A = this chain, B = another copy of it.
Amino acid sequence: MTVALKKPHKSARKPKGDGHLRRGEILAAAERIFIAEGYAGATIRKIADAVGVSSTALYMHFRDKDQILLEISDDAIGQLLAVNVDIAHRPIDAVSRVKLMLEAYMRFALDNPNTYQLVFCGSRDVISKEKQAATADLGDRCFEEFSGPIHEIAASGRLRTGSGESAAQVLWAACHGLVALMITMPDRDWAPREELMQVTLDGLLHGLVTD
């Protein structure tokens, strides 16, 4: 849409200058506001004001509001994916890899609550359908990276119950539930974070995997 890739001739008007700078400025401002005030607080007009342009200008660089915030989320989820890939390559046993990945996952969620909510708690009410394309894909790849070791464990017959797939989904869901609740109900008196995380991981792995 915005970038002219199709000028076959030389020296086509380069998409440099203001255009690219603006895009970065917008993303930076949007990220700042989104982190501080969440999805509803990150208004098009507020972002535009922060950049110092009119709200209409944002539509020069992004299709709509969701695209801006999802692009920010892509960055963040990309980092999580990188961590997962790194862990996946370490020469340690599968159970340890699972544990490290899920720990990283939960810490990511607690460190980036708004991003986490946008990507993993977004009802289709707020994010509507297929806009998530890229972000959802990154999320999928995170899950796959993490379900790899689980299937290893399943293949070696060490799963006490259920299929490898269901075990992977359950482990993911349990960790999701913990951080999601802690994020959306921060005023509850939770047991210490570390304890909750360890009880979840140890409990489930102990219950699902035979030694």
Contacts and interface: CB of A to CB of B under 8 A. Distances in A.
Interface string A33-72: 0000011110000000000000000000000000000000
A183 B57 CA distance: 36
Contacts of A125: 38-41
A110 interface: no
User: How many copies of this chain?
Assistant: 2
A26 interface: no
- Interface of A: prevailing SS: helix
Contacts of A40: 125-126
Contact of A207 (B121, B126, B183, B207): B207
Interface of A: 38-41, 117, 120-126, 160-163, 165-167, 169-170, 172-178, 180-181, 183-184, 190-192, 195-196, 198-200, 202-208
